[in-house]
Amino acid sequence: MQMLKLNAPLFRSSAIFLALVGAVLIAAIGCGGGGGGGSSTAGVTGSTAGVLPDNVIVFGQPNGTGNDFAIYDISPTGGSPTTVAADVSGSILLYVQNPNKANSYVLAAIPSGGSNYGIYLATGPTLTGATQLVAPVYSDVSSLAITQDSSHIVYSATNAAGVSYLFTLPTSGGTPANLGLSDGSTISPANNNTIAYVAPPNASGGNDQVYTRSLSAGAAGSATQITTDDVMHTLPAFSRDGTQLAYWEESGTSLLKIDLLATGVVTTLTNPSGDTPLGEAFSSDGSQIAIAGDLNFQGQLEVQATNGTSEPDVIFTAGVDVGLYGVYWTGSNGRGIARAGSTSAMRRPARLAIKTSALRKP
């Protein structure tokens, strides 16, 4: 799974979120209890052993314990959320699950006593027993993704000078390859190679545009620019088959765009409430998209048809933001696909911080 972020440690994607297997997550960090409820505090004890249910939307929200958060799943038609994990440490900014290996996660996290983020391999969303892949040198990590073949990690992170770059790294370790400026990135789950990302025109800032490029080509490869209009673009997301690329266009009211990459036809989805986007995730067949947003400092989840024929249906509201830690839509195997479509997590980067309520800062 994946995420892009809203404020320093926000991703969601992206994200943090993970494509996750229920039993693994429960074993790693426990499962919450409590009563049901369709609003401000998501409710009942979690998923059965095995995997998360087919066709549910997975999201996170602050749990009221410092910077920690909880994870829930909910039906695309709404109802009472189910607790997947009641308490995840706020030292973890983003986390994703290896789609091909049980008990294997990639984390962006602050180690004990530290102040910057590193990249780690772990047995769950916890730093206990984790292996450091990249030293904690980043002031922010706005996205984190692992390819479906679990060979590479793709992430966007901010250095000490406050500039955010796109990096790729083999899961076996090594030195990250710097592919240039990026405020958030993901990789297609269809080919494990096409990276979509947003980036400003230069290190001084400016409006982010959407680009794609090849992972295998590395730093020597060239980028293809997808958008050209002079407005800010955020939160790119692939559909599972890689044919659709979603991203937000922010000029006045934020609008979600769905780009059919083969033809270049772009569909604009309505945003009648004027939500500030925190993340999105395609359904398995690409016909719908789940949207996590902030509306007047309240969180809500919506589901909308990707063909632009209907307005969004609100399926969940909360007194705190939802989706700060990623939003995912599970498939038949119970694994979640984040807004980037792959095993990835994304958040809005710190420099693009806008009106949101529960922005966390470990």
Task: With cut-offs at 50, 70 and 90, classify the pLDDT of residue 163.
Answer: very high
Task: With cut-offs at 50, 70 and 90, classify the pLDDT of residue 348.
Answer: low
Task: With cut-offs at 50, 70 and 90, classify the pLDDT of residue 28.
Answer: very low
100 within a domain of the structure (yes/no): yes
What share of the chain in percent tops pLDDT 70?
A: 77
Residue 108 has pLDDT above 90, yes or no: yes
Q: Which residue has the higher pLDDT, 109 or 253?
A: 109
Give pLDDT, residue 5. Answer: 43
Main-chain dihedrals φ then ψ at residue 281, nearest 5 degrees: -150, 135
Residues of the domain holding 238: 3-352
Mean pLDDT of the chain: 80
Residue 271 has pLDDT above 80, yes or no: yes
357 within a domain of the structure (yes/no): no
Pairing mode of beta strands 69-74, 57-62:
antiparallel
| DSSP assignment letter at 263 | T
Beta bridge mates, 83: 72
User: What is the rounded CA–CA span in Å between residue 72 and residue 32?
Assistant: 10
Which CATH number characterizes residue 28's domain?
A: 2.120.10.30
Length of the chain: 362
Amino acid at 202: N
pTM across the whole model: 0.82
Three-state DSSP class for residue 321: coil
* Segment among 46-50, 92-96, 105-109, 165-169 with least mean pLDDT: 46-50
User: What is the rounded CA–CA span in Å between residue 93 and residue 16?
Assistant: 6
Instruction: Look up tokens 């983020």; give the residue.
Output: 117
* Segment among 96-100, 187-191, 201-205, 262-266 with least mean pLDDT: 96-100
359 within a domain of the structure (yes/no): no
Task: With cut-offs at 50, 70 and 90, classify the pLDDT of residue 344.
Answer: low
> Six-digit token pair at 103?
């008990």
Task: With cut-offs at 50, 70 and 90, classify the pLDDT of residue 354.
Answer: very low
Residue 24 has pLDDT above 70, yes or no: no
> pLDDT tens-digit profile of 55-69?
999 888 888 888 898
Give pLDDT, residue 3. Answer: 44
Give pLDDT, residue 323. Answer: 75
Task: With cut-offs at 50, 70 and 90, classify the pLDDT of residue 38.
Answer: very low
362 within a domain of the structure (yes/no): no
Contact 235, 184 (CB under 8 A): yes
Q: Which residue has the higher pLDDT, 234 or 323?
A: 234
57 within a domain of the structure (yes/no): yes
> Six-digit token pair at 136?
């904690």
Beta bridge mates, 299: 294, 318
CA distances for 300 relative to 36, 42, 146, 170, angstroms: 17, 12, 27, 36
- What's the structural domain count of the chain? 1
| DSSP assignment letter at 39 | S
Q: How many alpha carbons lie under 13 Å from residue 141 in its C-beta half-sphere?
A: 39
Give pLDDT, residue 353. Answer: 54
State the average pLDDT over residues 278-297.
91
CA distances for 286 relative to 36, 181, 193, 275, angstroms: 30, 29, 20, 22
